[in-house]
Amino acid sequence: MNAEQGLRESYWIETAPGGAPAPPPAGDLDVDVAVVGGGMAGLSAAWELVRRGREVAVLEAGRIAGGVTGHTTAKLTALHTLVYDHLRRTRGREGARLYARSQSAAIHRAAEIVTDLGIDCDWEEAAACTYAQNEQDVEKMRAEAEAAREAGLPAEFVTETELPYPVAGAVRVTGQAQFHPVKYLLGLADELCRRGGTVYEGTRVTGLTEGKPCVLSTDTGVKVRAREVVVATHYPVFDRALLFTRLSPRRELVVAGTLDADRAPRDMYITTEENTRSVRSAPYADGTRLLVVTGEHFAPGTADVEERFDRLAAWADSRFPGLTLTHRWATQDNDSTDSVPLVGHLHPGSRHTYVATGFGGWGLSGGIMAGQLIGDLVEGRAVEWAGLYDPRRLVSVVREGGSLLTHQAHVAKHFVGDRLPSVTSPSPEDLAPGDGAVLRVGGHRCAVHRDDSGQLHAVSARCTHLGCLVAFNRAEQAWECPCHGSRFAPDGRILQGPAVRPLEKRDI
């Protein structure tokens, strides 16, 4: 996507491409546990179960760590922006304490894994800071510092940081970490396979029949029978508890560039101001570090992505003069309506199916926590924080009424609006090279794209998940569904679920 700017895509994937893809299963499988999704949550769950002697198969539609995990900022921290003050008010002090303990336990588990398995993943201990530049936000920082400290984190309120611009106030938590997420997961997957687990790549799971055993269907025709199934596909591809009503997809942009090592911040920073800005640095070549800056979140299907990239790059350049941009990419998160991930049994009646989702941009500590929690649930062990994360928890009007209504209004607008006839419909001739639009062709809505050579390509504009209309993201050359965040290539291939079927080709 970055040919015009000469920028490369995800640094994490570029510098840890992995070996040849693991082939799909050659025939039907019978295993103890099938894990759907080879990102941080899926591989962490697989690891926890393999080390307890379970026979585990990981089924990944693309490459392991090639989805959201390979596109994060890769901060491993229990300080999630301003979550503790929020939890203290909505879940009480005990809820905030359980959240802090579970996320801290995940960081400790990752550190243990890195040491015990000797994974070379650029691990660095660092502090995490949430800061405000506006004076009117300082009280929020003070409140967060107090709530995080009460929850058990080593948190303090500070007014000085190493950032090259002033802050009005910040909450700082020491003893956190940053690392290279793809190197970490590839190392974990290697050891998982050495201990008897199996990873299958290029294997999209398309159906789930629950029972004893559960049966998974795949796009290769192979069936996988498993006593336990873990759905760790980011946005769940099987949603038997209507979790989609409680999850909002959000895209976020990342720009990265090199900076002299002595000018790069060593701790990790985030602010909610200016549509979120998150900053960290990573080891790079010859006396430099790679500055990784994230921000500009927006709903999938939003049109002005190129402008947002420009805005983020300009912000990074103004705050860190001398920065040489080398990479840019985008990522996608799912926010739960009560700001707590949904991890545990897939639905109220499920005994052998589990889900991990709704990490709200904190899917590294969240994914590792989910792996530990699901490992314990499969083993039938009681876990102190299982109730906090239980996807079957009731909707609370106090906790999530506002965000639930906002999310539902957004989805309802598309469910209804996308089924009404459009007033005007541009014609394919109006499309410039690289552009795409939903056009009415022969009475059908088609998603039409003109490639750089001028050739037109058309696919159905109806998302194969639940039928909303897709919209074109020109900066990333992708069709995106605004309802639950499925993404498709211009030729209709799935880039990101929850859809499990491609957009159908259309003739124009």
- Binding stretches for ligand FES (CB under 6 A): 463, 465-468, 481, 483-486, 498-499
Residue 19 CB partners (closer than 8 Å, separation 6+): none
Q: Which is nearer to ligand FES, 137 or 239 (CB)?
A: 239
Q: Which is nearer to ligand FES, 48 or 252 (CB)?
A: 252
Q: Which is nearer to ligand FES, 252 or 480 (CB)?
A: 480
User: For residue 214, what are its two tokens?
Assistant: 């559960």
Residue 349 burial (CB < 10 Å; 0-12/13-18/19+)? exposed
Q: Please tell me the number of Cα atoms within 13 Å of 96 on its side-chain side.
A: 23
Cα–Cα separations (whole angstroms), residue 225 to 27, 216, 354, 433: 11, 6, 15, 46
What single letter denotes the amino acid at residue 95? G
Q: To the nearest whole angstrom, how small is the minimum distance from the Cβ of residue 232 to ligand FES?
A: 18
Q: Which is nearer to ligand FES, 91 or 414 (CB)?
A: 414
Beta-bridge mates of residue 329: 254
Contact 178, 124 (CB under 8 A): yes
d(CA 449, CA 472): 8
Q: Which is nearer to ligand FES, 347 or 501 (CB)?
A: 501
Q: To the nearest whole angstrom, how small is the minimum distance from the Cβ of residue 422 to ligand FES?
A: 18
Q: To the nearest whole angstrom, how small is the minimum distance from the Cβ of residue 181 to ligand FES?
A: 25
Q: How far is CA 197 from the centre of its chain?
A: 24
Radius of gyration of the chain (CA): 22
Q: To the nearest whole angstrom, how small is the minimum distance from the Cβ of residue 59 to ligand FES?
A: 20
Q: To the nearest whole angstrom, how small is the minimum distance from the Cβ of residue 463 to ligand FES?
A: 3
Rounded to the nearest 5°, which phi and psi values hold at 168?
Answer: -85, -30
Q: To the nearest whole angstrom, how small is the minimum distance from the Cβ of residue 470 to ligand FES?
A: 7
Q: Which is nearer to ligand FES, 88 or 484 (CB)?
A: 484
Write the DSSP assignment of 432-473 as a string of letters.
Answer: PTT-EEEEEETTEEEEEEE-TTS-EEEEESB-TTT-PBPEEE
Q: To the nearest whole angstrom, how small is the minimum distance from the Cβ of residue 236 to ligand FES?
A: 11
Q: Which is nearer to ligand FES, 155 or 483 (CB)?
A: 483
Which residue is associated with the tokens 């996507």? 1
d(CA 336, CA 246): 6
Q: To the nearest whole angstrom, how small is the minimum distance from the Cβ of residue 362 to ligand FES?
A: 22
Identify the three-state secondary structure at position 131.
Answer: strand
Beta-bridge mates of residue 250: 333
Q: Which is nearer to ligand FES, 1 or 466 (CB)?
A: 466
Q: To the nearest whole angstrom, how small is the minimum distance from the Cβ of residue 70 to ligand FES?
A: 21
Q: How far is CA 328 from the centre of its chain?
A: 16
Q: Which is nearer to ligand FES, 268 or 483 (CB)?
A: 483
Q: What is the 3-state secondary structure (H, E, C) of 281-317?
A: EEECCCCEEEEEEEEEEECCCCCCHHHHHHHHHHHHH
